[in-house]
Amino acid sequence: MDIRAALKELCEAFNAHDLDRIMAFFSDDCVLEMPRGSRPWGSRFEGKRNVREALATRFEGLPDVHYGNDEHFVDAAADTGISKWTLTGTTREGTRKEVQGCDFYTFRNGKVIRKDSYWKIVD
């Protein structure tokens, strides 16, 4: 599988806010770890339905969210890739956000089994 191409397509799907297209990349037993949460790993969501619901909150909370300046790095031997980006968007309350971050992806049989997200804390 071409992991770099998959990472680019995932970024495009996120920018299109296309949950169906995004979730087509994920396995049924996928795991998503979001940066914020009460645990050292942030918030963890397991299974395709729960991951989809968690990702939907991104588009609800930042309706114009966009991942720009994207770069993608691959370790094909380990079936992993990293997407680095600058997230921009405006909250429903009108607060503008701009933050750099990255996603660590793990693949199995051409599907994402883990997406682990990180971003800078901007005060």
* pLDDT at 123 exceeding the cut of 90: no
Domain region containing 54: 3-119
Following CA atoms 11, 16, 20, 25 in sequence, which dihedral angle do they give, to the nearest 10 degrees? -10
* Percent of the chain's residues with pLDDT above 70: 100
- Number of domains forming the structure of the chain: 1
What separation in angstroms does the CA of 115 have from each of 11, 97, 112, 122?
A: 13, 22, 7, 22
Q: Which pLDDT score is estimated for 102?
A: 98
Domain of 101, CATH number, reads 3.10.450.50
Tell me the pTM. 0.94
Beta strand pairing call for 26-39 and 111-119: parallel
Confidence of residue 91 (pLDDT cuts 50, 70, 90): very high
